[in-house]
Structure 1
């Protein structure tokens, strides 16, 4: 599995973890009666808190991913050659992380798919207001669409690395 595929999987897992944690937190608060379902201050604070948690988690998890990748390359070099030369290991890691035109095309196509999901979510959030749902529903649809866009964009990236991508 390539570096880019592994990175996409790590991003998907991180996103699923964050949206799962947010869902459990928000559902628990509403079900326990600790907050009213239309308390906009709570929803705004919870969303901001989980955006911050998501950013911090993504940074920490990517750092851990790169450390584990380096260790895996070192072990692979050690088993293949019987020794682990730092320069060879560095070369192997750098060659895995090279970004070419194909990688950029895959990034653009997957980002486009993610933006389409976010756009659909935004329209759904506006439609929720037309159908007289609470503003909290609108906020949650928008928040969920941003996470869904990120997840589906990462999934598309993984798919394109597996199946290939055309210029068309």
Structure 2
């Protein structure tokens, strides 16, 4: 497995674990406090902002640890650099990001349907959050597919 595929798989797994852990924390551990607030827009605004900050900070820390582990583990081996990106890697990233953005934009459009039908705003937040997570995961899945396909 190349270093690029390893980074993508690592990103895929950490995205699922961080999102799952945060959802478990908010709705299971803090459920008594948070469940009565679920219908409020303030709850969803804070929820998404906290999730965004957590994802960014956790990804930075985890990728630093990943780089340190790879350097220590492959000290004597001649392996490609973690930061090495060629034209093929850029093309794969552009294609997977394009498909991911299509899912995110479709999710945004779908999230407007409950609001336009007169439903509560929390349905919009749930839809945007769901499609955002799916687009992030699918971006990694497409990168793995394109790397294995040999694009």
Q: TM-score range by the shorter chain?
A: 0.7 to 0.9
Give 1:163's aligned residue.
149
| Residue 55, structure 1, aligned to residue 41, structure 2 | no
In structure 2, the partner of 1:82 is: none
1:45 equivalent in alignment to 2:31? no
Q: How does 1:122-141 map to 2 (within 5 A)?
A: 122-141=108-127
Gaps of 5+ in 2: none
Q: 1:113 aligns with which of 99, 106, 109?
A: 99
For residues 9-29 of structure 1, the C-alpha deviation after alignment (integer angstroms, 9 at most, x for no partner) is: 111112101221232234338
Instruction: Give CA-to-partner distance per residue, 1:40-86, whole Å, 9 cap, x none.
Output: 11111121111111000000110011011112211x53xxxxxxxxx
Matched-pair contact (CA < 8 Å) for 2:111–2:123: yes
- CA RMSD after TM alignment: 2.1
Does 130-139 or 54-63 show the bigger shift?
130-139
Q: Extract unaligned runs of 5+ from structure 1.
A: 78-88
Name the structure 2 match of 1:24.
24
CA positional deviation for 1:121 = 1.0
Q: Offset at 1:93?
A: 4.2
What TM-score comes out, normalization by structure 1 length?
A: 0.79
After superposition, the Cα gap between the structure-2 partners of 1:22 and 1:120, relative to the gap in structure 1 and judged at 3 Å, is farther
Q: CA–CA distance in 1 between the matches of 2:124 and 2:113?
A: 8
Give the distance between the partners of 2:33 and 2:117, measured in 1 at CA.
25
Q: CA deviation at 1:98?
A: 2.4
